[in-house]
Structure 1
Amino acid sequence: MSAPLYQLKAEFFKTLGHPARIRVLELLSEREHAVSEMLPKVGIEPAHLSQQLAVLRRANLVVTRREGVSVHYSLASPRVAELLRVAREILSGVLADQAKLLGDLHAEQ
């Protein structure tokens, strides 16, 4: 018996639940990157970046292309970039609401 859709969604969001993975996906939303290009932008050790890229590969969120000794990564689907954009919009709204609430609290004092 296959897993319910809500369980698969939870696993999907768990995959996205690491700051380094989100940063990698943000970079790849712009364009394809070689691993060596991502290292300084993600700011983690090479072995750790490799682990995070492996998680994203297993989840079919990124694909690879070899060019000589370099491995280049890109998004498996442009919908991943769209998901990150929507998440940013949601967070912007939440933060704007919190800022308004904080402003209201300060105004009451």
Structure 2
Amino acid sequence: MNLEMQKFKADFFKALAHPLRIRILELLADGDKSVNEIQSLAGSEGSAVSQQLTILRGKNIVTGTKDGNRVIYSLRDPMIVDLLSVARQIFNNHLVDTIQMLDQLNVGSSRIDEGK
């Protein structure tokens, strides 16, 4: 079972491993949207959006519901909003660590410059 869970997680994260897919999920976190709405908000071509939605649907990350002649997409699991939030927090932590490291390097190089 542990191996199955690890494979599921790996496949799940592979499905998220594209900037446009992440953008689509962020947009859907704000509410259900049609392909045209996603395309407009993401500033991307319809074919690219459709291609990424197909991948997300294939991995059961988003669902599509027919509404007349259009399809409305939504997050399959609301926990994805939490996952995106945690990812943002991890990114911010890395950014803070990087800024602190750069500040330390700048202080160190200032001291070296002062010693000249």
TM over 0.5: yes
| 2:87 pairs with 1:87 | yes
Match of 1:103 in 2: 103
SS in 2 for 1:73: strand
Superimposed CA distance per residue, residues 47-96 of structure 1 (whole angstroms, 9 cap, x where no aligned partner): 12111001000111111122111211110011011100000011100110
Following superposition, the deviation at residue 10 of structure 1 comes to: 1.1
Q: What secondary structure, in the 3-state scheme, does the structure 1 residue paired with 2:74 have?
A: strand
1:32-71, aligned counterparts within 5 Å? 32-71=32-71
Q: SS in structure 1 opposite 2:27?
A: helix
Query: How many angstroms apart in 2 are the aligned matches of 1:89 and 1:9?
Result: 20
| Mapped partners of 1:79, 1:8: distance in 2 | 16
- Which one-letter code corresponds to 1:34 in the other structure? S
Distance 1:72 1:16 in 2: 20
Runs of 4+ in 1 over 2 A off after TM superposition: none
Deviation at 1:44, TM superposition (A): 2.2
What SS is found at the alignment partner of 2:66? strand
- The amino acid across from 1:41 in the alignment is L
Letter in 2 for 1:15: A
Q: Deviations over 1:13-71 (max 9, x none)?
A: 11000001000000000111111111122222211211100100011111112211121
- Which TM-score applies when normalising by structure 2? 0.87
**Cα distance in 2 for residues equivalent to 1:34 and 1:28:** 10
- TM-score (normalised: structure 1): 0.92
Gaps spanning 5+ residues in structure 1: where? none
